Structure 1
Amino acid sequence: MKKTNRMKAYSLISRSPFFRMGLLLPLLLGCSEQRKAGPPVFSGKNVLLISIDTCRADYLEPYGGKKIKTPHINALAQDGFLFTDAVTPVPLTLPAHTTLLTGLHPIQHNVRDNFSGVLGDSVVTLPELFREAGYATAGVIGSILISHRTGLGQGFDVYKDEFTREEFRALQPSVERKGESALALTRDWLDSYLQTENKKPFFLFVHFYDPHKLYQPPAPFDEQYAHDLYGGEIAYVDFCIGKLVDGLKENGLYDDLLLVLIGDHGEGLGDHEEVTHGLFLYEEAVHVPFLVKLPNCENSFSPFPIHQTVSLEDVTPTLIELCGLGFTKTNGVSLAPWLLRQESETDRWICLETQYPLTYNWSPMYSLRSSQWKYIHTPRPELYNLLEDPKEKKNLAGLSAAQRTYMNGILENQLVELARTAVNDHDPQYSIDRAEILTSLGYMAAGNMKGRIGPDRTLPDAKDKISVYIKNDVALGYMMKGMYSQAIDMFLEVVENDPTNPTPYFNLGLTYMQMADYDNALSLMEKAVLLAPESIHIHLHIAKVLLQKGEYGKCRSVLESIIAEQPMLADAHFQLGWLEMMEKRFENALVHFQEARRWMPDMPNLEESIAKARQGES
């Protein structure tokens, strides 16, 4: 049992003095404190949570999408309640899923990007609550980005996050498995569950990653959607979901199932010049699909669309109330009143963020969004009336100063309260001082981020660097295809255009690593780490170069520092194991290889390395 106060699911925001003074209105956070929850209506029912990665809501037919066919999601929408105005608080895979499985805002759980965040053990997760309530819990994931090494495996009896060697070697930005592989693993678990005597109810989490770049749908979706391969990936996931639902129906599990389908974030597709996601907070990246199918029962309403503004933060408190789970702190709202009692819609502000621009030493972005208004806080602020301008083409920041000032005040209050209510083991110790909190979050207009480009320089707006971003992305494509000369030339152009950006130096270093030119690789990565000294990712690659160069003392120092900060980083243990092998310390090598296996048992060449260490011992 964790040393956690298992309080009733409630909004941390509602305890704020700002809320009591009315400065956070029209927030509807904290409903579970203000409304007495009824008895759990679906306690003991099976629960299926499906996450579709990188899925724009407007690509699905229930949301008006006309580019592709999604018949199986259509059928789920007809059986369930469709939330038409659902948003993610962060357009990145790992932080969004951490929010999904905790009900906390990224500032509170402190998993802010895809590479450096680890969810602390003290944070209570949704699967932990289900397991404590007597459920069998299982997860099948589509990407290594949300493996158990990130802390998201907490509470799962079974967590299918091991990948094949072929999946590791595939030419993809991150290790992933295709939808049908995830479907097969899910079916295998369900088959074993059905054969179990004295069955418990189950909580099953299934994650489909296919719509994430690179877009490579299998046949026949590759030909059917050759003009829109991203859409083809979503159509393929729809096909997989259909097969999953068919299996549930065949085994008599569908009718009485509580099913939630949700997207973690969307995809830019060039709507505001960003092709993928993470850099901006426009609707194409933050508006996500979200539907809930309730178990069949006499008292349930016929499904209908719900227009209330909702967030990924709401999934955990909703399932807590519906299923009668234990108590934990969340920043979300239980949606049971809208699902069970046809609650009327009310205004609500949702706080959004992206830290991804900091990867490039650009300003982070924060946003405040309701069903009508969106304010984006950047060095060049943006304000949109979403009812009149849903595509966010007309920036009203210079025309509606009063609305902008009003929303900026609410956003500041929310950010301060989120920082003060952070709960992760690995949280920074935020000052209680309001100005210091806002400065540490990179919010203050004249502020700067620690370890960034200099005390007298503010970080640039990502909007002003989009051409640099696109050029860097093209150069990465050249590098991945082995076109090293073209990649180097383009990365050098990025350096010239944005000299305080660490990424082109790092990517140049990666290019020279692939060319086995370790002197140039080390020189460029050292330039990158001067601009981003907190980047574990860059430090790890510096260690790899030092190992190749035979500079074992320096390599050991870097790796031991990394492990001290992130002991779950399997790659660091693996590299240190090979360093010990080089120095014929086979017993020490075996210890580090086994630590790597603990956190990443599917790591390529790991078992062979363990065998060699044991052979060296003997």
Structure 2
Amino acid sequence: MPWALLSILPIFGSGCQHDDGKPNVVIITFDTTRADHIGSYGMALAHTPTLDRLAAEGVRFENAIASAPITAVSHSSIMTGLLPPAHGVRDNGSFALGDDAVTLAERFKAVGYDTRAYVSAIVLNRRYRLDQGFDVYDDDLWGEAEPKMFMIRERPAAETIDRVIDWYGEREKQTKKNPFFLWVHLFDPHEPHKPPAWAKVLAPSSYDASIAYADRELGRLVDALRASGELDHTIFVFTADHGESIGEHGEKTHAIFVYRATTRVPLIVRYPPRFPQGNVYAGPVRNIDIAPTLLELAHLPGAKDTQGVDLTGMVRGDVPIVDLPQYSESKLAELDFGMAPLYAVRKDGYTFIRAPRPELYDLKNDPGELHNLYGDAKYQTKADALDVELEKLMQDSAKHAIAARTDPMSKETMEMLQSLGYLQGATDRASAAGIDPKDGIAMYSRLENARHFAQQRKWAAAEKELKAILVEMPRHFSARSVLALVEFKRGKYDEARAQYLELLAQDPKQFRLYGMLGEIELMQGKLDDAERYNMEALKIAPQFVEAMGQLGLIATIRGDDVMAKKWYDQAMLIDPTFPPLRRRLADLYFERGDFEAALKEYQEAFAHQAKDFRSLLQAGASARRADKPDEAEQLLRQAIKMRDKTWLPRYNLACLLASLGQSDNALQALDDAIAHGMVYGKLLVEDPDWDTLRKDPRFIALQKKVQKIDAAGSPKEGDIDGDIPDAD
């Protein structure tokens, strides 16, 4: 709905000043967005009118570098003003920002700001602790459709911006408002790209179309701020967490290398009271400079606690431009592939990359960093000087260092990281130790190819690629991990079990592998073995929620409701928002006949997973059994709206109305259910809700219609669940 703003503008007020005169602060981060794919940065075919206008009304930084080409790492730098060696987050999925970190949100909250964040991908889930200081941290992605195999759970820009605008509209109705600190993250430029059709027409590639889509959705928020009169009273920052290689240097996407393709990012600051409009700042800046700049502009303390600098004076020309050293790193190659880490510094017009085979590039003559000058004697002094500069940055980081937390990731995060080849065993790391990522990128690309084959359900091609890797490197943990997951997804449980057991033989401390083995045994009905594997997982990782959930399910199957509830309660103490646990506990209450408790848990599950059709349907059934017919009807009608081609909620609604004596409405609902594919005539024979209507000619006619369709064996579209409901 690109022009939905027209319908919401009237709700916004015209006042823009707060009682204390403090400016609002907005940080917008696009994922995976190269600076040179934005119109104002010189790409003629880009379609980014929102960003281009912001650049024209503010300052565009031509030479901004991110601290890492990895989402969680880079965002941690943006929010703390610290480099990765200082804030301690070095990778996605397995690090969480330490409690000792002081975020921008915490600093603004301390002086009375309302602080809110809306993120669009699971890699920024609150478990990674970027939520510190936010009054509202909207990372509720459970309501989105299940991601494809190996992909990250995300939500599209339109849904994220809808939530922001809903909040902003309510805020504008208030007569007394605090200033706000708002962070909005849009994930759409990250692959796989799924831009709308209109964007594909306007942009030269799916990647650029995804940026165009995010730009248009951002425009709705900018227009809302402009219409309310608050935009000029807002420090507005736009940047990206990192760029994208798009095949440069042999890297298809990002995360391994630290070349400018993945570390140069757009940075635009719009704040008319202090920043000159239409200015282009060519000096080197870093994403760690965002935090101190915002703190100084808002007259807040804390800038000196960061490793960045306030850019305001240099932008305005009040102080000379400083050649700031630009640090970037990727530890992913080391942490997840066992290869060497990469550390880069850019200064004096050169890039130096510390690696087993070091690299040096002359940025003036070689901005694409294609011609390595390291080893040329006439450049050795420059290389040595930059290596010293890099060491200084690391030493400074040590002075600011805080301890990050490691995180026992969820099964979904594990699957996503496995898919990228990110989870490695100790033996794999040892065998690859010291390999330069330039030499290891080919293997990474082969793993990525196998992942794409699996996503497309080209199982044979995926297996062929993975098994070929294992022939060359039999102890390659990543390839075997992905192969095991492919076999599991295909239902080849014996083959998957063999792969997971081989992985455990390589690294017995991988608690997630025990969890996967437990799930395999559970799928095959081997409850004792499933229990044993999950208990082993908990010995290694006592807070592994998925193992507790499996143990609760095992207890339920055994009929031990007390033990099942014990496991579910213990798991929810650790992660109360995890919908599968809520559903399982709700199922347990439902089977017990405690329908009030079941209703509560189904609704709680639905609150965290707004597209959870099953929980919504079961909530309706629970409400009916709890003698709450009005609530049951409301829930069932909501389920019908959610899946408008499905017969099941329509049939349940018909049963409810029949039980309430609303014959006309019940028969109309039944006819509607039949029209949407209800072909199970047996239900109409056995369901007691129809007892009072069995002699009604209208019911008899509908029953015959069902029998005729049933006999023809041609259920209609809409019977998408494959479920025959219990008689309720």
Task: Report the TM-score, using the length of structure 2 for normalisation.
Answer: 0.70
SS in 2 for 1:478: helix
In the superposition, relative to structure 1, how do residues 63 and 465 fare at CA in structure 2: closer, same or farther (>3 Å)? same
Equivalent residue number for residue 376 of structure 1? 353
In the superposition, relative to structure 1, how do residues 144 and 489 fare at CA in structure 2: closer, same or farther (>3 Å)? same
5 Å matches for 1:122-133?
A: 122-133=100-111
> Are residues 1:115 and 2:93 paired?
yes
In the superposition, relative to structure 1, how do residues 279 and 300 fare at CA in structure 2: closer, same or farther (>3 Å)? closer
Once residues 483 and 369 of structure 1 are traced to their aligned partners in structure 2, the CA distance between those partners, rounded to angstroms, is 43
> Are residues 1:201 and 2:176 paired?
no
Q: Indicate which of 231, 234, 239 corresponds to 2:216.
A: 239
5 Å matches for 1:349-428?
A: 349-358=325-334, 359-370=336-347, 372-399=349-376, 400-419=379-398, 421-426=400-405
Structure 1 window deviating more from structure 2 (141-150 vs 171-180): it is 171-180
CA offset at residue 52 of structure 1?
A: 0.6
SS in 2 for 1:205: strand
In the superposition, relative to structure 1, how do residues 531 and 586 fare at CA in structure 2: closer, same or farther (>3 Å)? closer
Equivalent residue number for residue 324 of structure 1? 299
Once residues 468 and 235 of structure 1 are traced to their aligned partners in structure 2, the CA distance between those partners, rounded to angstroms, is 32
5 Å matches for 1:141-152?
A: 141-152=119-130
Equivalent residue number for residue 438 of structure 1? none
Decide whether the 8 Å contact of 2:531 with 2:554 is kept in 1. no
> Are residues 1:55 and 2:30 paired?
no
CA offset at residue 269 of structure 1?
A: 0.3
Once residues 55 and 182 of structure 1 are traced to their aligned partners in structure 2, the CA distance between those partners, rounded to angstroms, is 18
Q: In proportion to residue count, which structure has more helix?
A: 2
Decide whether the 8 Å contact of 1:122 with 1:424 is kept in 2. yes
Unaligned runs of 5+ in 1: 1-41, 429-448
Can you list the C-alpha shifts for 1:291-320, whole angstroms capped at 9, x where unaligned? Answer: 1111x43x6544411122111111112111
CA offset at residue 255 of structure 1?
A: 1.8
In the superposition, relative to structure 1, how do residues 477 and 304 fare at CA in structure 2: closer, same or farther (>3 Å)? same
CA offset at residue 130 of structure 1?
A: 1.0
Decide whether the 8 Å contact of 2:504 with 2:510 is kept in 1. yes
Equivalent residue number for residue 286 of structure 2? 311
SS in 2 for 1:307: strand
Equivalent residue number for residue 337 of structure 1? 313
Q: Indicate which of 425, 449, 456 corresponds to 1:481.
A: 456
The number of equivalent residue pairs is 548
Equivalent residue number for residue 626 of structure 2? none
SS in 2 for 1:305: strand
RMSD of aligned alpha carbons: 2.7
Can you list the C-alpha shifts for 1:166-221, whole angstroms capped at 9, x where unaligned? Answer: 43345672011111111101101101211234210011111110000001101201
5 Å matches for 1:178-577?
A: 178-225=156-203, 227-294=204-271, 296-297=272-273, 301-327=276-302, 329-358=305-334, 359-370=336-347, 372-399=349-376, 400-419=379-398, 421-426=400-405, 451=426, 453=428, 458-528=433-503, 540-545=515-520, 547-548=522-523, 550=526, 551-561=529-539, 563-564=541-542, 567=543, 571=546, 573-577=548-552
SS in 1 for 2:282: strand
Equivalent residue number for residue 34 of structure 1? none
Letter of the aligned partner of 1:373 in structure 2? Y
SS in 2 for 1:272: helix
Decide whether the 8 Å contact of 2:243 with 2:254 is kept in 1. yes
Structure 1 window deviating more from structure 2 (519-528 vs 84-93): it is 519-528
Decide whether the 8 Å contact of 1:475 with 1:490 is kept in 2. yes
In the superposition, relative to structure 1, how do residues 72 and 86 fare at CA in structure 2: closer, same or farther (>3 Å)? same
Equivalent residue number for residue 78 of structure 2? 100
Decide whether the 8 Å contact of 2:425 with 2:507 is kept in 1. no
CA offset at residue 477 of structure 1?
A: 1.1
In the superposition, relative to structure 1, how do residues 119 and 572 fare at CA in structure 2: closer, same or farther (>3 Å)? farther
SS in 1 for 2:146: helix
In the superposition, relative to structure 1, how do residues 537 and 55 fare at CA in structure 2: closer, same or farther (>3 Å)? farther
5 Å matches for 1:12-51?
A: 44-51=22-29
Letter of the aligned partner of 2:105 in structure 1? P
Once residues 321 and 164 of structure 1 are traced to their aligned partners in structure 2, the CA distance between those partners, rounded to angstroms, is 37
CA offset at residue 102 of structure 1?
A: 1.3
SS in 2 for 1:97: helix
Once residues 324 and 137 of structure 2 are traced to their aligned partners in structure 1, the CA distance between those partners, rounded to angstroms, is 35
Structure 1 window deviating more from structure 2 (492-501 vs 78-87): it is 492-501
Decide whether the 8 Å contact of 2:96 with 2:406 is kept in 1. no
Unaligned runs of 5+ in 2: 1-19, 408-423, 595-728
Once residues 457 and 173 of structure 1 are traced to their aligned partners in structure 2, the CA distance between those partners, rounded to angstroms, is 26
Larger-Rg structure? 2
CA offset at residue 147 of structure 1?
A: 1.5
CA offset at residue 235 of structure 1?
A: 1.0
CA offset at residue 44 of structure 1?
A: 1.1
